Structure formats: structure tokens, C-alpha cells
Structure 1
Amino acid sequence: MKGILLVNLGSPDSTDTKDVRKYLDEFLMDERVLDLPYWKRFLLVKGIILNTRPKKSGAAYKKIWWEEGSPLVVISERFAKKVSDKVDIPVALGMRYGSMSIEKGIQELVNKGVDEIYLMPMYPHYAMSSYETVVVKAEEVLKNKFPQIKMETLPVFYNEVNYIDAMVNNIQKQINDFDFDHILFSYHGIPERHILKSDTTKSHCKIDGSCCNTPSKAHETCYRHQCFETTKEIIKKLDMKGKTHSNSFQSRLLKDPWLKPYTDFEFERFAKEEGIKNLAVVTPAFVADCLETLEEIAMEGKEQFQEAGGQKYKHITCMNDNDDWVDVAVKWVNDWKDKTVEVL
């Protein structure tokens, strides 16, 4: 029997410092997130970050936490339920980090008689710290715990027409009554070295103004290129009415060079240097609202922009569990059922 495993990032079980610390420990000790030698990662995470960051992150989570729990988890559960209601094979939900593990999701499917899984990482773009780590973890769990189970994987969908159409519809509905000057496409940031490490050609990526626009096999795993392509495809179909747009990257960690421009710097620059008064912000790297969108963009971003002189500010919520997005996932599920899908 075939079954579907939807996977997103994950969340602490609560906003308590101990739960946030446990979650951050698993997240930051992932070698594809903090790609340092184990001993350096251990000393940095265990010796420094986990002594200070959990309390700060817990306070941020408290600002966005819902009565039902973590917004990311609640939204993902709603999405999974809607997809399940529209397909005739089992659907389970797992998270890369936290108690709602990938292993638990696989076990749920196995308990229902599933022996062939379609893994659907809920990440439009390829990055070693998001899409890649989900696939590697799922493969590891299958090898160690469920060697009899076959698995195929949904490719990244950053420019897939149905995803783009769903994104455009979601954005358009939210800006129809908002007289914006500029739309900022804010993507989750990653260290620049991750781009170079993911370059399968080992020579193409320069992180300059040209490499992302020069055709190359490297683009199959280039997060930066894929982000820019998503924006281009959305803009082609979005009714901009002469308005301007740009890209930026948010949520950087530590002091290493990350992809630029930085979103928080752009908020201030827009208001002080560009004269932008009314700003809309879209976060296409996220399919479900979470800490990075609800707190960092919707709350802190608005404050930063308006303190710098901006006036109106609108955070475009993610697609979450809206019907357009559910229908896209259902189509992918049904397509997989009906034909052979290339195993990544």
C-alpha cells in the first residue's frame, strides 16, 4: 500500500525554556544546519548557545503561540487533514526536529499497512539545512528501522506552475485592498558557504550578480538561484500595477557571511533611503506561518520599518492550509499514485 509523509521543520513542545532548549539542541546539532566539525559544533551549541538562546527564543515563541499550540504544528496538522480528506491513501505528518518526528510519521503509516512512501518535504527550495536534511533523515530512519519500506521523494517545487499559481492567488487576495509601494520577497537566509558546498559542479557558484542567471547544473541544488526564480515567476503573474519589488534574506545566525541583502537592514533602508512608505512582505520559502514569519516579519519587521519612517506595513501570511495549496498537494499525491516518480 502507498502512503504520504508530509514533513516540515518542527517546533518545541511548549514555550518553556527547557522545551525550547531541547528543540534547539536537536536543531543546531544537525551537521547540515551548523556545518562545523562535531567538536566545534558541540562546544558552540552546548557550551554557549544553549546557555543563552533558549530563554530568548522562548520569549519569542510566547508572542506567537496559539491556544492549540505551535502555529507551525497546528497549521501543518490542519493541512495534512485536508489533504487526507481528498486522497484515498494514508497521510501522516512528521517534523524534522521535535517530538513529532519523522520516525513517528513513518511508524504511523506502517501501522496502516503502508510499504511504499512518498516523502513530501514542505520546502519549495533546495538547501542542505532544510530539504536535504529531511531527505537524509528519512533515508536514515528507513535504513535503521524500516528497511522493508520503499520511498520516493517529491522534488523541490520552487518554480512548479501549480505552486506559483497558488502563491500568486494567496498574495493577490491579501494586497487587493493594500495600496503598497513595494513588495519585499524575504527568504530564509543560509550561510554563503552552504551555497558553495551545494554546488555540484564545484566551480559555478560565485554568489555574485551573474552566476544565478547563467544556466548551470548547479542550479538544481542552488538555494539562491531557486529563490530568485520563485520571485521572477510570481512577478510574471502578479498584478503589480507599476509597483516595485526586491529580494532579501532573513533569520541569520552567528557572525558568518549569510546571503544578502539582509531583511532587517532592508526595512530601515527602504524607509530612510528609498522613500518607501507602504511595504508588503512575502515569505515564499515558508508554506506555513511560524516563528520566522509571525514574530520576525509580522511583528519585528513592522516595528523596524515604521521606526525608520515607514507608514503602512503588511505581512502576507503564508499559504498555510488554504484550499489552493491543499489542491496543489493533492494533485502531486495523485500524480505520484498514477505514474513512476524519479527517486532523488
Structure 2
Amino acid sequence: MKGVLLVNLGSPDSPTAKDVKPYLDEFLMDERVIDAPKWLRNILVRGIILQTRPKKSAKAYAKIWWDEGSPLIILSERFTEKLKKHTKMPVALGMRYGSMSIKGALKELEDQGVDDVLLVPLYPHYAMSSYETVVVKTLEDQQKHFPKMKVTTMPAFYKHPDYIKALSESIKDGLQDFEYDHILFSYHGIPERHIRKSDPTRFHCKMDDTCCKINSVAHNTCYRHQVYDTTELVKAYLGLPDEQVSSSFQSRLAGDPWLKPYTDYEFERLAKEGVKRLAVITPAFVSDCLETLEEIAMEGKEEFEEAGGEHYKHIPCLNDNDAWVSVMAKWVNNWEHTGKLDVVPVD
């Protein structure tokens, strides 16, 4: 029997340092998030970061927490419930980090008789620290606890026409009644070395615009190429002028070169160059979370206005948008009936 496993990032159980600390420990000790030797991760994470970060992060979570709980969890659950109404297959939701585990979601599917699972990492783009770690963790749990299960993984869907249409239409809706000077596509940041590590050719990725424009198998696992593709495809769909659109990367750690340009620098640059009305979209996520709701919607607004900007609009992620639900339903139902996943054309 076939079933669907949706996996998103995860969340602490509450916006308190007590619950944030184990969540951050699991997240930052992931070798695909901080890709250092385990002994060094232990020193960095448990010896340094976790001594101060939980209190700071708990305050940030408290700013965006809903009465029902974590926005990311609630939005993911709403999406899951809507999807269930569009397919006959069992659908379960798990999180890569936190108490809402992947193992628990697989058990939920097994209890319903599922032995053939479609894994859907809820990330449009491929990155070690998001898409890849979900796949690896799911397969580890499956092989250890559910060895008779078969798992098929949905590829990154960053440029599928159905996804681009749903994303573009949601942006159009978000821009209603907002006359913008500029639209900034702000993507989750990752270290540059992650791009090179994910390059199967070991030579294609040069971290400049030339390599992204030359077709290569490396593009199938190149986060930088994929996010710029998403921006260009949305720009084309909506007919946006080149000079009014740009891309940037948020959330970085000190000490290593991360993908540029940095979003906070762009807020300042755009404001100082005369942009007064800025719209910001965060397409690296399909569900709003701490990074989009606090770092971009709140802190970003302050940074832009402090630099001279006047009007700021954060456009929500796809969340449980009905068109997005319909797109996912189309994909999973096609897999159920044909066994095929025609989601992303290969370069």
C-alpha cells in the first residue's frame, strides 16, 4: 500500500530556553548543518553556542509564537490536512528536528498498512543542510526500524512549472495594494563550501555567475544555481523588470564565507540607493518559520527603515495556500497511479 511522508524543518516544543536548547543541540550537531568533525562540533555547539544561544533564540521564538503553537508546525499540519482531502493515500507529517519525529511519522504510516512511501522533503531547493539531511535521516530510520518499507524520494521542485505558477500567483496576491520600488528574493544562506561539497563533478562550481549558466549535472545538487533559477522563472512569469528584482541570502554564521549578497546588507544598500518601498519574499521555505517571521518580517523591516526605507512588505510563504495544496496533490497522485515522479526536468 502506498503512502506519503511530508517532512519539514521542525521546531522546539515551546519558546523557552529549556525547550529550545535540545532542539538547537539536535539541529546544530547535524553533520550536514555544521559540517565539521564531531569533536569540533561538540566544542562549537555544546561548549560555546549552547551556553548563550538558547535564551536569545527563545526570545525570538516568543515574538512569533502563536496561541496554537509553533507557526511552522501549525502551518505544516494545515497543509497536511488539506492534502489528505485530495488523495486516497495515507499522509503523515514528520519533522527533521524536534519531538515530531520522522520515525513517528513512518510508524503512523506503517500502522495504516503502508509499505511503499513517497518521501517529500518540504524544500524546493537541494542543500546539504535542508533537503539532503531529510533524505538521509529518513532512510536511516526506515532501514533501522521499518526494513520492509520501500522509500521513493521526490526531487527538488524549484523550477517545476506548477510550483513556479503557485509561487508566482501567491506573490502577486501578496503585492495587491502595495506599490513596490523593488522586490527582494531572500533565500536561506549556506556556507560556500556546502556548494562545492555538493558538486558531484568536483570542478564545475566556481561560485560565480558563469558556472550557473553552463548546463551541468552539478545543477541537480547546486543550491545557488537552483535559487537563482527560481528567481528568474518567477520574474519571467510575472513579467517583472530586471532592475526591480534581486536575490540575496539571509542567516549566516561568522567565520566562514557564506553565499552573497547578504540580505541585511541588501536592506541597507537598497534603501541608500533610493528604494523607498520594498517587498521581500522568502522562497527557500514553503512554510513560514522563525527565519521568515522574525528575521525577515520583523528585523528586516527595522533594518530597511533605519537605512532610510519607508514602506516594507513581507510576502508570506506558500504555507497552506490552496493552489499549492493542489500542486502537491497532483504530484503525489501521479506517483500513486504511475509510479513516476516527473517533478523537475534534468538540465
When the two structures are superposed, what TM-score results if normalisation uses the length of structure 1? 0.98
In 2: Cα distance, 1:62 partner to 1:244 partner: 34
Distance 2:238 2:341 in 1: 31
Report the Cα distance in structure 2 between the residues aligned to 1:24 and 1:242, rounded to whole angstroms: 39
What's the CA shift for 1:243?
6.1
- Give matches, 1:2-13, under 5 Å: 2-13=2-13
Q: Is the 8 A contact 2:235 2:241 kept in 1?
A: no
Q: What is aligned with 1:287?
A: 286
Equivalent residues in 2 for 1:321-340, closer than 5 Å:
321-340=320-339
Cα distance in 1 for partners of 2:128, 2:184 equals 24
Aligned positions of 1:11-22 closer than 5 A: 11-22=11-22
- Partner deviation per Cα, 1:17-56 (whole Å, 9 max, x = no partner): 0110000000000000000001000111000000010000
Q: What residue is the counterpart of 2:135 in the other structure?
A: 135
In structure 2, what is the equivalent of residue 40 of structure 1? 40
Question: Number of residue pairs matched?
Answer: 343
The amino acid of 1:321's aligned partner reads D
Aligned counterpart, 1:305: 304
The SS at the match of 1:130 is helix
User: How many Å separate the matches in 2 of 1:52 and 1:302?
Assistant: 25
Alpha-carbon distance between aligned partners in 2 of 1:242 and 1:340, rounded to the nearest angstrom: 40
Is the CA contact 1:92–1:105 (under 8 Å) kept in the aligned structure 2? yes
CA shift for structure 1 position 216: 1.0
Q: Tell me, what secondary structure is at the counterpart of 1:86?
A: coil
Partner of 2:155: 155
Give the match for residue 345 of structure 2. none
Q: Distance in 2 between the 1:135 and 1:91 partners?
A: 17
Secondary structure, counterpart of 1:95 in structure 2:
strand
C-alpha contact 1:180 1:243 (8 A) present in aligned 2: no
CA distance in 2, matches of 1:255, 1:283: 24
> 1:280 corresponds to which letter in structure 2?
A
State how 1:218-229 maps to structure 2 within 5 Å.
218-229=218-229
Q: Letter of the aligned partner of 1:172 in structure 2?
A: K
**Aligned residue for 1:100?**
100
Cα shift at 1:340: 2.3
Secondary structure of 1:36's partner?
coil
Question: Separation in 2 of the partners of 1:4 and 1:218?
Answer: 28
Residue 179 of structure 1 aligns to a residue in which SS? coil
Distance 1:209 1:76 in 2: 34
Compute the displacement of 1:241 (Å).
6.5
Alignment-derived partner of residue 264 in structure 1: 264
Q: Secondary structure at the match of 2:7?
A: strand
Structure 1 residue 15: Cα displacement: 0.7
Deviations along 1:193-223, one digit per CA (max 9) or x if unpaired, are 0000000000000101211111111101000
Alignment partners' CA distance in 2, 1:66 and 1:74: 9
> Structure 1 residues 119, 229: closer, same or farther in 2, change over 3 A?
same
| CA pair 222-242 structure 1, distance change in 2 beyond 3 A | closer
SS at match of 2:209: coil
Determine the C-alpha separation between the residues in 1 that align with 2:225 and 2:76.
27
The one-letter code matched in structure 2 to 1:277 is K
Please report how far the alpha carbon of residue 177 of structure 1 lies from its aligned counterpart in structure 2 after TM superposition.
1.2
- In 1, the alpha carbon distance for the partners of 2:308 and 2:124 equals 33
1:93 counterpart SS class: strand
For residue 61 of structure 2, what is the amino acid of its counterpart?
Y
Once the two structures are TM-superposed, the CA of residue 242 in structure 1 deviates from its matched residue by 7.6
How much does 1:339 deviate?
1.3
1:123 touches 1:285 (CA, 8 Å); kept in 2? Answer: yes
The CA RMSD over aligned residues, in Å, is 1.3
Q: Which moved more, 1:170-179 or 1:189-198?
A: 170-179
- Summarize deviations over 1:94-147 as a string: whole Å, max 9, x none: 000000010000000001111110000000000010000000000000111000
Name the residue aligned to 1:118: 118
The CA deviation string for residues 155-210 of structure 1, in whole angstroms up to 9 with x for no partner, is 10000010000001100011121110000000000000000000000000010121
Q: How far, CA to CA, are the matches of 1:209 and 1:326 in structure 2?
A: 34
Structure 2 unmatched ranges of 5 or more: 343-347
Displacement of 1:264? 0.6
Aligned to 1:145: 145
- Say if 1:12 and 1:23, in contact at 8 Å, map to a contact too: yes
- 1:152 touches 1:342 (CA, 8 Å); kept in 2? no
